[in-house]
Amino acid sequence: MQIDMNAAIAGGPVPFTSNAILFRFKRTSTGAVNEIIVKDYQAKYLHDITVKPRNQVKIVPTSVAKLTAQGNISAMKSGIRNGKYKIVDSGGKKRMIDTSKKGKKNRSKRVVGVREVKKRKMVYDFYERAEIGARLILSDLQGQYIFRRM
């Protein structure tokens, strides 16, 4: 399941995402319990792309921006902190500009990102894929099985 989710993410997952899913097996006196678990911190982060997409206000990169493999603006946090990037309010929109590009020739290349409401697309349907995989594995085994969402 972790491998499927990693393959579904364009540009590849960051290490935080690629180590999100655990499998736990517990044997009890009445039977065995198999659990597919998403770690707590990762569950909060991954909820938007695996369960239900939600609107977020974020800085969306323009075509001029230099991006990482995951599609984020490279060195954005440190660039804002050290003054390379600056947030300006222009025409009712907040824009992030690159202060190192000066002159009329580079003026069109200054805007690195625009602040917008964006909905992240759902890249992996966690509950559907987990249930399909569990049913496939358990179809060959005898006994009674209960599927629960926790």
Please give the average per-residue pLDDT across 27-36, as a whole number.
Answer: 82
Residue 150 has pLDDT above 70, yes or no: no
Please give the average per-residue pLDDT across 19-40, as a whole number.
Answer: 83
Residue 34 has pLDDT above 80, yes or no: no
Sheet containing strand 93-98, edge to edge, reads 55-61, 111-119, 93-98, 85-90
Please give the average per-residue pLDDT across 31-53, as a whole number.
Answer: 79
| HSE of 94, CA atoms in CB hemisphere, 13 A | 10
This prediction's pTM: 0.54
When the pLDDT of each residue in the chain is averaged and rounded to a whole number, the result is: 82
Cα 91 to chain centroid, rounded: 31
Is 42 within 8 Å of 48 (Cβ atoms)? no
Q: What percent of the chain is predicted at pLDDT more than 70?
A: 98
| Residue 45 confidence (pLDDT) | 76
Q: How far apart are CA 48 and CA 24, in angstroms?
A: 24
pLDDT digit string, tens, across residues 73-114: 888 889 989 999 999 998 888 999 888 888 777 777 888 899
